[in-house]
Chains A and B, each alone.
Chain A
Amino acid sequence: MSYHHSVLQCNKIKIMPESLAIKISAGEVVERPASVVKELVENSIDAKATDISVYIHDGGRKLIRVIDNGEGMTRDDAVVAFERHATSKLLKEEDLYSIHTMGFRGEALPSIASVSEIVLTTKITGEITGSMVKVKGGIIEEVRDAGCADGTTVEARDIFFNTPARLKFMRSVATETGHIADTITRLALAYPAIRFRLFNNGSAMLKSSVKADLRIRIADVFGRDFLKDIIPLEAGNGVLNIHGFIAMPETAYSTTKGLFIYVNNRWIRDRGINHAITNGYRNVLGQGKYPLVVLFITIAPQNVDVNVHPTKCEVRFKSPKSVYELVSRAIEAVLAPSHVSFLKSYERKVLTAEVREGAVNYNNASHNSSAVPLIDEGIEGGLQASQQGLEETVAYTKELFFRELEVIGQLWQEYLLCEREGEFYIIDQHAAAERSAFEKLKGDYYLNRRVSSQLLLLPQKIELSLQEKEAIESSMEAITDLGFDIEPFGGNTFIVRAVPEILSGIDCRGLIKELLDDLVSSEMSFRIEGRLDAILMRIACHSVIRGKRILSHEERKALVIRLSQVDFAGNCPHGRPVIKAISKFEIEKMFKRR
């Protein structure tokens, strides 16, 4: 084989020394067709492409073709690229601690080439001819001139053709297609400025707009409807920053599929951050529910290790705790009342633009001014300060908001209809009652470290299973703090002598069993800390009369006023919304007046 050097461009790829190569996390790069797509598209991104198209056939098993308009490669590079540890992105060991590109191992192309048949065509901008390299099962079969557009096209066919065992593990076409679509979605969110297109068996599956920003990109991939339910998020101290969008809790899933977490623009999986997110949502989202969150963590490369896993989907933070705190607190702050959808329009009128701006961007401002504080302390101080400022203004507006809300009627004995200044509000009376009960319990608990309870004139008997019995015996103290007084009465019978005051007049035996079952199934000793919200939510839920109910005028007004005491994000403890607004504009649109 012979080929000439490019005259116009220098080669960029080098083979890294052995000493460096062994530092790279080794392992399987290509797990499934979607991994091929990911590696190829990341290469295109690293090549500064602004337009990337992906074609797949049969879930990527037959064909994956990625076309970019990036910088391209010289013929030399196009050949060397298939060598192991050949990369233009990592030259010396220090680079490993300051990775700014998606790739850095020089592993992807050789790995893909070893399990498929690859044709790579590439041309550097300005060159007249490009090059074509054909590799099959890791062996270069052909290198020649090719007429092609600027940029690079990589075509991988018959993945795993030479590894029947792997082929057997491939899932259905639909599943593999789904994985590929997920991969593109993740990348598309991280690079809104790049146009992405995905074609499945010839038809377009995903098309994103050109030169979008994150908001528009979210609309591109999730649909325009999402836009009205997402809230921007921004926090950090310059050393560690986060930004992105989080959805109102109504958009919740039972899996983590709505969590898009990026570290330095790289999509990753991280249980710790997942937990930080759900923790930030804990007051507005039920357990086992996950919101939609697109979260970008920007951190100095030296404070995070991406060289952890061969697929580069995991990272290790130097200080995971500070990341956790920042994410969790920022989300909680954003979900705090000022950002509640129904309050938004009101606030706009009452608070000056300045105050709003200040509240949202406070974190940045405060930290940019101080000379790079230590991460841990910095985040703490900054967020607390900003939250406080926010709460004061909000308490004032919220109180006013609910006082001014005029109840104009009740619908289906389940909803309150309210009016105020050109907006129409619907309150779910059950959710509202539940929410205010929750707040009351919480306030009570924080005041006294226990829930006030009502002693029973007619104590109630309760029969427990053996497991429940053990559970209750080992957690009497916690049960008492929750406002219950339960005494053994011989055998499996117990006597309930007191119940949380909020449950006055309600049979608590079902609730007690639920709480105990919780305990039995979690095999934990019953501690309130950390689970207080969940437990109080459960109690709140039981305290509220279910179903339809006609409310008197006074009851309606009282319920609405009670909401002003609630520190909430428009959601009841189960993650259901409490109040929704319909603007005059929307109604007028309905009737074609606009």
Chain B
Amino acid sequence: MKFEIERDVFLKILQRAQGVVEKRNTMPILANILITAKRGKIEVMATDLEVSIKDQCDAVVAKEGNITINARKLFEIIKEAPEDKIDISAEGSGKIIIKSGKAKFNIVGLPVDEFPSFPAYDEGELFRIAPDVLKDMIEKTVFAASTDETRYNINGVFVEKDGANIRMVATDGHRLALIERSSEWPKLDKGVILPRKGILELKKFLESGEGAISLAFTVNNMIVKKDGTIVVIRLIDGEFPDYKQVIPKGNDKKIGLERIDLLSSLKRVSLLSMEKGRGVKFGISKGKLELSSSNPDVGEAREEINVDYKNDEMDVGFNATYMMEALGVIDADKVVIELKDRESPAILKSATAAGYLYVVMPMRI
């Protein structure tokens, strides 16, 4: 195999592949990328078996063939290459030679047939979607997904189609975020769970400039295509909890308040706590909400904000981080907290717009 390529073009592709390459080094081959040189193009592939990426670009191919090479090493060499032109060639023995100007590197690759094959998909199924909507939906849910690897079925975002609506739900067992939007969407017979890592890759993709994005779902995968790049995300094989059951009904104690007031107040009050995520007490009475937190070492923090509340006095504890994360993504000036009692799930949502719902379980402080 032998080809010549522009440094900057190559670098961009390698950088994207880097993000996918398995970092835990469970299988040595997964630290590598597969480069295939064919008909005036090279194709770069990386996978961690959960997310796979395939990219391509033009190159001057002198001799077709393929190699696998350590992704990080190659990226670092190319980044530091002295000239704009890079020349890569490989011999049958697995020795790879990288040349740029006077610089020359020898690297030994791993056998190409050890590299996992790229998941199959049908190009015709790909369906163009609105990237902004997708990005927004991800941002408003993914933070609530579980990071506990033992609970794989909630380690991602649940996606389902409901008539003309598309719905995404994420939970970590303590809180749940749900968003619903009407949007064009590819065929999806039943709900699927997208893994966190895949979602974050997808988000990066959505953020990287203009360009149409197409999606498709197979039984096991979600396929995303943008320009020449294809990302395949393996779906989580599991049952997502029955989220509809945990969305409370009849929470009659409604507190209306300014989103910014609550957010900044929580930030200040929870500052005192030893670390983020500590409980903050919500003392609610007519027209006002008193937030307080205490830290055995530092003392107590207390703050009051004016709210719209007409019901009985009560107090309830919440994890400040859980509240702040949701308040950070809701785009509305006014929000509502709907409570039942100090042990039942609460709802946080925009006071005006429908379509987004955040359910959070109180804390006993």
Nearest Cβ on chain A to B302's Cβ, whole angstroms: 16
**A590 smallest CB distance to B (angstroms):** 28
Contacts of A446 in B (CB 8 A): 296
* Distance between Cα atoms of A483 and B295 in the complex (Å): 17
On whether A440 and B274 interact (CB within 8 A), knowing A457-B171, A501-B319, the answer reads: yes
CB distance from B20 to the nearest CB of A (A): 15
Determine whether the beta carbon of B174 is less than 8 Å from that of A452. no
Q: Which of B333-349 contact A (CB under 8 A)?
A: 343, 345
- Whether B208 sits at the interface, judged by CB under 8 Å, is no
A346-B172 Cα distance, complex, nearest whole Å: 43
Q: Chain A residues with Cβ under 8 A from B345's Cβ?
A: 457
Task: Decide yes or no whether B198 CB sits under 8 A from chain A.
Answer: no
Task: Tell me, yes or no, whether B278 is within 8 Å of chain A by CB.
Answer: yes
* B114 CB → nearest A CB, Å: 24
Partner of A447, one of B154, B246, B296: B296
Q: Name the distance in Å between A384's Cβ and chain B's nearest Cβ.
A: 19
CB distance from A549 to the nearest CB of B (A): 10
Question: In the complex, what distance in Å separates the CA atom of A565 from the CA atom of B173?
Answer: 30
Which residues from 318 to 365 on chain B have a C-beta closer than 8 Å to any C-beta of chain A?
319, 343, 345, 359-365
Q: In the assembled complex, how far is the CB of residue A506 from the closest CB belonging to chain B, in whole angstroms?
A: 5
User: Is the CB of B93 closer than 8 A to any CB of chain A?
Assistant: no
Which residues of A sit under 8 angstroms from B151, Cβ to Cβ? 507
Chain B, interface SS category? loop
Complex contact B295–A505 (CB within 8 A): no
A457 in contact with B174 (CB, 8 Å): yes
A457 cross-chain contacts in B, Cβ below 8 A: 171, 173-176, 246, 345, 359-361
A interface size (C-beta, 8 A): 29
Contact B277 A498 (CB under 8 A): no
Given contact pairs A440-B274, A443-B274, A505-B146, A456 touches B173 in the complex (Cβ within 8 A): yes
| A163 close to B (CB within 8 Å) | no
Minimum C-beta distance from A244 to chain B (A):
33
A115 → chain B closest CB, angstroms: 63
A558 at the interface (CB under 8 A from B): yes
B171 & A458 in contact (Cβ 8 Å cutoff): yes
User: How many angstroms between the C-alpha atoms of A128 and B176 in the bound complex?
Assistant: 98
A505 touches B148 (CB 8 A): yes
The verdict on A447 contacting B278 (CB below 8 Å), with A452-B363, A457-B361, A501-B363 known, is no
Chain B nearest Cβ from A531, distance in angstroms: 21
Q: At the interface, yes or no: A504 with Cβ under 8 Å from chain B?
A: yes
Q: In whole angstroms, what is the CA distance A351 to B235 when docked? A: 59
Instruction: Name the one of A443, A455, A558, A562 contacting B362, with C-beta atoms under 8 angstroms.
Output: A455
In the assembled complex, the Cα of A498 lies from the Cα of B317 at a distance in Å of 13
Whether A562 touches B279, Cβ cut-off 8 Å, given contacts A443-B295, A452-B364, A456-B173, is: no
Contacts of A507 in B (CB 8 A): 148, 150-151
- Is A448 at the interface (CB under 8 A from chain B)? yes
Enumerate chain A residues within 8 angstroms of B365, measured Cβ to Cβ.
448, 452
With both beta carbons as reference points, the residue of chain A lying nearest to B154 in the complex is identified as A458
| A53 lies within 8 A of chain B by Cβ | no
A-B contact pairs, 7 of them (CB 8 A): A440-B275, A447-B296, A452-B279, A452-B364, A455-B362, A458-B246, A565-B274
Q: Which B positions have Cβ atoms within 8 angstroms of A?
A: 23-24, 146-148, 150-151, 154, 171-176, 241, 246, 274-275, 277-279, 294-297, 317, 319, 343, 345, 359-365
Which A residues are closer than 8 A to B by beta carbons? 436, 439-440, 443-444, 446-448, 452-458, 460, 483, 485, 498, 501, 504-507, 548, 550, 558, 562, 565
- With contacts A460-B173, A501-B279 known, what are 20 further pairs, Cβ within 8 A? A436-B275, A440-B275, A443-B295, A443-B296, A446-B296, A447-B294, A452-B317, A453-B364, A454-B174, A455-B174, A455-B363, A455-B364, A456-B174, A457-B360, A498-B364, A501-B363, A505-B146, A505-B148, A506-B148, A507-B150
